[in-house]
A and B are shown apart, each in its own frame.
Chain A
């Protein structure tokens, strides 16, 4: 299995030095993929981060005595006596990380931008000494750089046992200044109003949110496996509270996903007459805005203790709520004349198509299951409330009812994230997460599934 994905991007406008620098970063990114594959294990909810025969309770107990056990950057192993102990990633992968670190130092020497160079050197050190915060702060304070580059153990989605351990990933991209400007406009519109929060809940206030759209050249590690089209970093709420948040939209992977999945699904599950009302360009913009709204909203919904309360269910609620609340906000854009009804409809249609995509992706990669469960919750909610109907094997959305559903669902999800407990969250998930809501379309999707080798 490969965990590297490359994308075609025009680099003609770059200087010879910049091209060499990018090659170094791409090589470093490629070397991260094998580390990720050593962490990944779909057979076990804790992947390879914990011994496969360790129970959740045993790990929690060991973690109380030794905090390194539940540190985001360690493997947990058993010694000869059966006792659990922690090995930091940078020690376990010392040999493999050295050449990656060297490539970053070489790239740093080629960059005319002093801050970018400092970031690369600091990141090179952090890979070897396990202290990632220092380089993250340099990045948080100084990006946007012309080149977007992230490397290291970052996302926690592989750890379905505790949602703590970080999996390796890397990406390299080039800033798309024009699309970034448009995304910035959207961000401002979303942030102009103050959202009321539920009494007794505690939210992290984001004082700074930077948005950028990148033409991505390579994904490696977890991000190549999950094929995200956008992301929001840092994950550490304390760092985010102190230095703000960085939102990235990956334009080239999004284009690929739209062409290969979102648009063909649209052509399959909606009636021909309905399809005629929307151009491909309108729908692509809908898809881009869907992910942009999702990522911007992510930074507005950080409840300080939500991860502790909801445990492994946290990502299901966190990801779904960001989608639902983001799209719901478009209702006020429409009322203010900042968005047309057609634009909002395109976003809703693409949200539905993206829900199907998560279900399909989860069949190939169970690690994206929390997204698929979230997608199923939304889709089941839409059907139960009559916002979607299946007639003659094809779906018909009722946009007015969909908007009401977004409102209702956002309140439910907000409650669980802000104040809810694990048992209530589990009950909610069990009620709404049946994948039959997607499977009922299998006959219509037959050709698409065959083409995609499902």
Chain B
């Protein structure tokens, strides 16, 4: 039996998913309550009908996906006390990597956005840093790139 995948989300991330879910359900309701285009336009399949069906099927699959995510969400919370010195999901970490000073927050894969400094816990750097403390140096390995990364600072935002 395959393991159920858990989705780590911040409070804001969870709110975003819930909002999208509500919006898509309302949209589906509006679409199905309205008048659907006819299947046939004269003797040919109506392109409007095809596009309507395509939209509906896209909506359905995204709604199912969001329901699955919402059922299996684990909320990211800042750890208490001394555990704040250890990197976990939600930590904003300052590192020195490959001669560059970098700061980013470790998030779940659904909230990954490297452009805005949100790095996945499943990325090579995310995996290597979780569980480590400030001052430690870790080697991050991929089949073609290896870099050592010094952890300079760890902080957690208050919720």
Contact surface of A with B, Cβ cutoff 8 Å: 185, 188-189, 192-196, 328, 331-338, 341, 344-345, 399-400, 402-403, 407
Query: In whole angstroms, what is the CA distance A345 to B146 when docked?
Result: 15
**A335-B115 contact given A193-B101, A195-B100, CB 8 Å threshold:** no
Report A134 CB to chain B, min CB distance, Å.
35
Q: Would B100 and A341 count as touching, CB distance under 8 A?
A: no
Q: Give the contact-size bracket for chain B.
A: 20 to 34
List residues of chain B with CB within 8 A of the CB of A336. Answer: 104, 114, 119, 123-125
Beyond A345-B144, A399-B143, 19 additional pairs, beta carbon < 8 A: A189-B114, A189-B115, A192-B104, A192-B115, A192-B117, A193-B101, A194-B100, A196-B100, A332-B97, A335-B124, A335-B140, A335-B142, A335-B145, A336-B123, A337-B112, A337-B114, A341-B144, A400-B143, A402-B144
Q: Would A195 and B145 count as touching, CB distance under 8 A?
A: no
Query: In whole angstroms, what is the CA distance A341 to B98 when docked?
Result: 18
Beta-carbon contacts under 8 Å, B115-152 to A: 115-117, 119-120, 122-126, 140, 142-147
Contact for A399 among B125, B126, B144, CB less than 8 A: B144
Report A327 CB to chain B, min CB distance, Å.
11
A-B contact pairs, 20 of them (CB 8 A): A192-B102, A192-B117, A194-B100, A195-B99, A196-B99, A196-B100, A196-B101, A331-B145, A332-B100, A332-B102, A335-B125, A336-B123, A338-B123, A341-B144, A344-B144, A344-B145, A399-B143, A400-B144, A400-B146, A407-B98
Report A155 CB to chain B, min CB distance, Å.
30
Contact for B142 among A189, A194, A334, A407, CB less than 8 A: A334
Pairs of residues from A and B, 8 with the lowest C-beta to C-beta distance, nearest first: A337-B123, A338-B114, A193-B100, A193-B102, A399-B144, A331-B145, A335-B125, A188-B115
Report A341 CB to chain B, min CB distance, Å.
6
CB-CB nearest in chain A for B118 = A336
Report B156 CB to chain A, min CB distance, Å.
20
Contact surface of B with A, Cβ cutoff 8 Å: 97-102, 104, 112, 114-117, 119-120, 122-126, 140, 142-147
Query: In whole angstroms, what is the CA distance A345 to B145 when docked?
Result: 11
Interface of chain A: mostly helix, strand, loop or mixed: helix
List residues of chain B with CB within 8 A of the CB of A196. Answer: 99-101
Report B137 CB to chain A, min CB distance, Å.
14
Among the interface residues A188, A192, A328, which one has the most CB atoms of the partner chain B within 10 A?
Answer: A192
CB-CB nearest in chain B for A401 = B144
Query: In whole angstroms, what is the CA distance A332 to B143 when docked?
Result: 13
Q: Would A194 and B101 count as touching, CB distance under 8 A?
A: yes
List residues of chain B with CB within 8 A of the CB of A192. Answer: 102, 104, 114-115, 117
Q: Would A337 and B124 count as touching, CB distance under 8 A?
A: yes
Query: In whole angstroms, what is the CA distance A195 to B126 when docked?
Result: 21
List residues of chain B with CB within 8 A of the CB of A338. Answer: 114-115, 123
Query: In whole angstroms, what is the CA distance A287 to B126 when docked?
Result: 29
Query: In whole angstroms, what is the CA distance A195 to B142 when docked?
Result: 22
**A331-B98 contact given A337-B123, A337-B126, CB 8 Å threshold:** yes
List residues of chain B with CB within 8 A of the CB of A333. Answer: 114
List residues of chain A with CB within 8 A of the CB of B119. Answer: 336-337
Query: In whole angstroms, what is the CA distance A57 to B155 when docked?
Result: 60
Contact for A337 among B115, B122, B143, CB less than 8 A: B122
Among the interface residues A196, A328, A334, which one has the most CB atoms of the partner chain B within 10 A?
Answer: A334
List residues of chain B with CB within 8 A of the CB of A193. Answer: 97, 100-102
Query: In whole angstroms, what is the CA distance A288 to B125 when docked?
Result: 26
Q: Would A331 and B100 count as touching, CB distance under 8 A?
A: no
Q: Would B115 and A185 count as touching, CB distance under 8 A?
A: yes
List residues of chain A with CB within 8 A of the CB of B97. Answer: 193, 332, 335
Query: In whole angstroms, what is the CA distance A333 to B123 when docked?
Result: 10
Report B105 CB to chain A, min CB distance, Å.
12
Query: In whole angstroms, what is the CA distance A402 to B124 when docked?
Result: 19
CB-CB nearest in chain B for A186 = B115
CB-CB nearest in chain A for B112 = A337
Query: In whole angstroms, what is the CA distance A331 to B125 when docked?
Result: 11
Report B59 CB to chain A, min CB distance, Å.
25
Among the interface residues B104, B116, B123, which one has the most CB atoms of the partner chain A within 10 A?
Answer: B123
Query: In whole angstroms, what is the CA distance A195 to B144 when docked?
Result: 22
CB-CB nearest in chain B for A339 = B114
Report A250 CB to chain B, min CB distance, Å.
24
Among the interface residues B97, B99, B120, which one has the most CB atoms of the partner chain A within 10 A?
Answer: B99
Among the interface residues A188, A336, A344, which one has the most CB atoms of the partner chain B within 10 A?
Answer: A336
Q: Would B142 and A341 count as touching, CB distance under 8 A?
A: yes
Query: In whole angstroms, what is the CA distance A399 to B146 when docked?
Result: 12
CB-CB nearest in chain A for B96 = A196
**A332-B98 contact given A341-B142, A341-B143, A403-B145, CB 8 Å threshold:** yes
Query: In whole angstroms, what is the CA distance A335 to B139 when docked?
Result: 11
List residues of chain B with CB within 8 A of the CB of A194. Answer: 100-102
Query: In whole angstroms, what is the CA distance A188 to B115 when docked?
Result: 6
Report B133 CB to chain A, min CB distance, Å.
19
Report A22 CB to chain B, min CB distance, Å.
33
Report B95 CB to chain A, min CB distance, Å.
9
CB-CB nearest in chain A for B100 = A193
Query: In whole angstroms, what is the CA distance A147 to B120 when docked?
Result: 39
Report B140 CB to chain A, min CB distance, Å.
5
Q: Would A335 and B100 count as touching, CB distance under 8 A?
A: no
Report B34 CB to chain A, min CB distance, Å.
32
List residues of chain B with CB within 8 A of the CB of A407. Answer: 98
List residues of chain A with CB within 8 A of the CB of B120. Answer: 337
Query: In whole angstroms, what is the CA distance A338 to B124 when docked?
Result: 10
List residues of chain A with CB within 8 A of the CB of B116. Answer: 188
